[in-house]
Amino acid sequence: MAIAAVVAALAVSLLWLPGGDGGVRLAADTPGTPGTEPVSAPLRIVQANIKSNMSTAKTKADIAAVYAQRPDFVTFNEVTYRPDSWLTPAGYQLWRTPGAFTGETPVAWNTARWNMVAQGTWMISNKLRKQPSKEFELGKRYANWVSLQSNIGERISVISTHFAPRSGYTKDQIEPSFKRLALLVDQLRAHGPVLVGGDLNVNYRAAAEYPRTTVTALGLTPVYDVTGAALPTGMYRNSTIDYILLASAGQYTVRGQSVRVVHSDHRQLTADLALTGSSASAFSPGTVLTDPRTSPRAVTALMVRSINLAPKGAVVHLATRDLKMAAVVKAIQQARKRGVHVQLLTSGKKVSAGERTLIKLLGTNVRKKSWVAHQRNWTRYHLPAASSLVSASGGTRALRIDSNRPLVKDAHKVATRAVVTIDKTSYDSLFVPFFKAAGRPL
| Domain housing 376 | 282-438
pLDDT, tens digit, 9 for 90 and up, residues 340-388: 999 999 997 788 999 999 999 999 999 999 999 999 889 899 999 999 9
Has residue 213 got a pLDDT over 80?
yes
pLDDT for 379: 87
| 69 contacts: CB under 8 Å, gap ≥ 6 | 44, 46, 260, 270
- In the predicted model, what is the mean pLDDT of the chain? 86
| 394 contacts: CB under 8 Å, gap ≥ 6 | 16, 17, 18, 153, 281, 282, 283, 306, 309, 422
Pair (260, 319) in one structural domain: no
Give the CATH number for residue 147.
3.60.10.10
pLDDT for 190: 77
Has residue 244 got a pLDDT over 60?
yes
pLDDT for 308: 85
| pLDDT interval class at 438 (50, 70, 90) | very high
pLDDT for 70: 97
Domain boundary among 220, 249, 279: 279
pLDDT for 264: 97
Q: Are 246 and 226 in contact (CB under 8 A)?
A: yes
Pair (262, 298) in one structural domain: no
Residues of the chain with pLDDT > 70, as a percent, come to: 87
- How crowded is residue 422: how many other Cβ atoms within 10 Å of its Cβ? 26
User: Is 2 a domain residue?
Assistant: no
Q: Are 387 and 403 in contact (CB under 8 A)?
A: yes
| pLDDT interval class at 421 (50, 70, 90) | confident
Residues of the chain with pLDDT > 90, as a percent, come to: 63
pLDDT for 293: 82
Domain boundary among 239, 254, 279: 279
Is residue 338 helix, strand or coil?
helix
Tell me how far apart the alpha carbons of residues 266 and 428 are, in angstroms, rounded to a whole number: 51
Domain boundary among 244, 279, 314: 279
CA 2-194-420 angle, 5° bins: 100
**Could you tell me how many residues make up the chain?**
442
265-269: average pLDDT: 97
DSSP label at 205? T
Give the CATH number for residue 318.
3.30.870.10
pLDDT for 350: 85
Question: Where does residue 310 fall: left (phi above 0), alpha (psi -120 to 50 degrees), or beta otherwise?
Answer: beta
Has residue 25 got a pLDDT over 60?
no
204-223: average pLDDT: 95
Pair (250, 138) in one structural domain: yes
User: Is 26 a domain residue?
Assistant: no
pLDDT, tens digit, 9 for 90 and up, residues 271-311: 999 988 767 666 677 888 888 887 788 888 889 988 987 88
Which contiguous run of DSSP H or E holds residue 174?
Answer: helix 174-189
| pLDDT interval class at 411 (50, 70, 90) | confident
pLDDT for 158: 98
Pair (215, 303) in one structural domain: no
Pair (269, 228) in one structural domain: yes
Q: Are 39 and 416 in contact (CB under 8 A)?
A: no
Pair (257, 355) in one structural domain: no
Has residue 86 got a pLDDT over 50?
yes
User: Is 18 a domain residue?
Assistant: no
Q: Considering its fold, how many domains does the chain have in total?
A: 2
188-200: average pLDDT: 91
